[in-house]
Structure 1
Amino acid sequence: MLQTISSVTAEKAEKYQDMLGKHFARKVSVETNTHQSVVYFPMGTCRISSEGSKLHFQCEAETADALAAIQSIIDRHIPLLKAIRDTQLVWTETP
């Protein structure tokens, strides 16, 4: 399983995590609790979590192409979040 992570500082990190979870739930399955939303895309998953003023993304997929597709989806949705709309996520591979 391939995995990448990224994070961004956002004063409303918990609110944004909740907003993104609800947004994605319109199209795909999402499990949400207070500090995490797990989004089940057809090509893999993305865990969106909040901790204080940090919004974290952890994406997993079987192939590099699938992982890139998930990252692209997340990257396209960041501009929808007003306070961090100009932020570019930097994705880091994890072992």
Structure 2
Amino acid sequence: MYAITARAETEFASKYLQQLCKHFAHKVPSTYDETSGKVEFPMGDCTMQATSGVLTVTCHSEERDGVTQMGQIIDKHLERFAWKEKLELTWENTESAVQEA
């Protein structure tokens, strides 16, 4: 399993979380409320958390390319939704492939 995580400091964390999840819900399963969300992309899942001033996004996939694709999708959409702030997410690997024994 591969995972990447990114954080963005913004006073509009909840707004962007809901906007992203609502947008993706038109094409893929998506659930959300004011503080958390989950989007089920074909290549894996993304979870989002909005806390006081911080949006955190974590993507999980069985394939390295899956997390890369999801990160690019989130970046592209957040760039459009948060254009006034010019938010940028810096993605970090948070897990590497786990081999089953």
TM > 0.5 between the two? yes
Q: Matches of residues 5-84 of structure 1 in structure 2 within 5 Å?
A: 5-80=5-80, 81-84=82-85
What is the RMSD of the two structures over their aligned residues, measured on CA atoms?
A: 1.2
Unaligned segments of structure 2, at least 5 residues: 96-101
Task: Give the conservation status (yes or no) of the 8 Å contact 1:13–1:51.
Answer: yes
Q: How big is each residue's C-alpha offset from its partner over 1:20-45, in whole Å with a ceiling of 9 and x where there is no partner?
A: 11011011100113311100000001
Q: How many residues align structurally?
A: 94
- Distance, in Å, in 2 between the alignment partners of 1:50 and 1:24 is 17
- 1:19 partner letter: Q
Counterpart secondary structure, 2:8:
strand
Counterpart secondary structure, 2:48:
strand
Counterpart secondary structure, 2:65:
helix
Q: Structure 1 residues 83 and 50 mapped into 2: Cα distance closer, same or farther (>3 Å)?
A: farther
Task: Give the conservation status (yes or no) of the 8 Å contact 1:10–1:83.
Answer: no
Q: Compare CA radii of gyration and give the structure with the larger one.
A: 2
- Distance, in Å, in 1 between the alignment partners of 2:6 and 2:14 is 16
- 1:73 partner letter: I
Task: Give the conservation status (yes or no) of the 8 Å contact 1:4–1:59.
Answer: yes
Counterpart secondary structure, 1:94:
strand
- The alpha carbon displacement at 1:94 in A equals 1.0
- Report sequence identity in percent: 31
TM-score by length of 1: 0.91
- The alpha carbon displacement at 1:87 in A equals 2.7
